[in-house]
Chain A
Amino acid sequence: MGYRELEQGEPVDTFARSTFDDTRRKAAKFGAMGSTIRATKPQR
């Protein structure tokens, strides 16, 4: 798509806050994290 001005936020260990051991374990196994991105669609 050719988007520009890409920014990515720092990873957040979202699932470490889960009250479920199983979720924390699975998130750690797959390296699942929250993060963000910003990008701008090019002008024509």
Chain B
Amino acid sequence: MTIGAETPVDVEILRQEIAKTYTEVSTEPDTNFSFPTGHKWAQELGYPEPELTWVPEDTVASFAGVANHWQHGPVMPGETVLDLGCGAGTDLLIAAQMTGQAGRAIGIDMTASMLERARSSAQAMGLTNVELHDSLIESLPLEDESVDIVISNGVIDLVPDKEAVFAEIDRVLRPGGRLQLADVFIRHEVSEDARKRIDLWTG
């Protein structure tokens, strides 16, 4: 993840390509993608049980995380948790189970088919503490200092304006709150030519 670098790609085209890729992940999860997906991958990463088991396969089949941020700890009962780029909802619905009826699990995503899958799975699980918003994570539809914990998995690396994302995280997180993120890091500088290639951004 590189923060603060100028964006060498057309942001609108990049968003369209990302939406296209992740719509396919949600509607055709058995397709071979350039990144690992699905229940087996979540298990391999060590996702928390029994919460993972209770998330419907319709959602977990579209899991496309890159690492396991849950290793840093669970959501506590009654907390308000925000999942940036919640996708089909694997992390969101795990968080909703952890926080329970006294808490809230808020998912943000820009891909309609992913949000629909998350909504459907939340209903199937009988969860009433889940909120979903169709929004960019650079501009969150939430009040200042209204969230106890921010989670995200494999999403911020897809956003060109990372400074805006972290400014929004800081705005909505209450003092004493925490962020718990999984994402892609690079060890070698990416050339200017490579940074212009949309296919490298979308995975």
Report B112 CB to chain A, min CB distance, Å.
26
Report the Cα distance A16→B183, complex, angstroms: 15
Distance between A43 CB and nearest chain B CB, rounded to angstroms: 5
Is there contact, CB below 8 Å, between B72 and A36? yes
* Residues of B in contact, count (CB < 8 Å): 38
A38 and B178 contact, CB distance less than 8 A: yes
Q: Given contacts A26-B200, A34-B183, is CB(A14)–CB(B175) below 8 Å?
A: no
Q: Across the interface, do A11 and B179 meet the contact criterion of CB distance under 8 Å?
A: no
- Tell me if B146 counts as interface (CB < 8 A to partner A): no
Number of residues from A at the complex interface, CB < 8 A: 32
Chain A residues with CB below 8 A from B179, complex form:
3, 37-39, 41
Contact indicator A43/B175 (Cβ below 8 Å) = yes
Q: How far is A20 from B32 in the complex, measured between Cα atoms in Å?
A: 8
Contact check, B66 vs A12: say whether CB atoms are below 8 A apart. Answer: yes
- A-B pairs with beta carbons under 8 Å apart, 10 shown: A9-B71, A12-B45, A12-B67, A17-B36, A23-B203, A32-B184, A36-B68, A37-B179, A41-B175, A41-B178
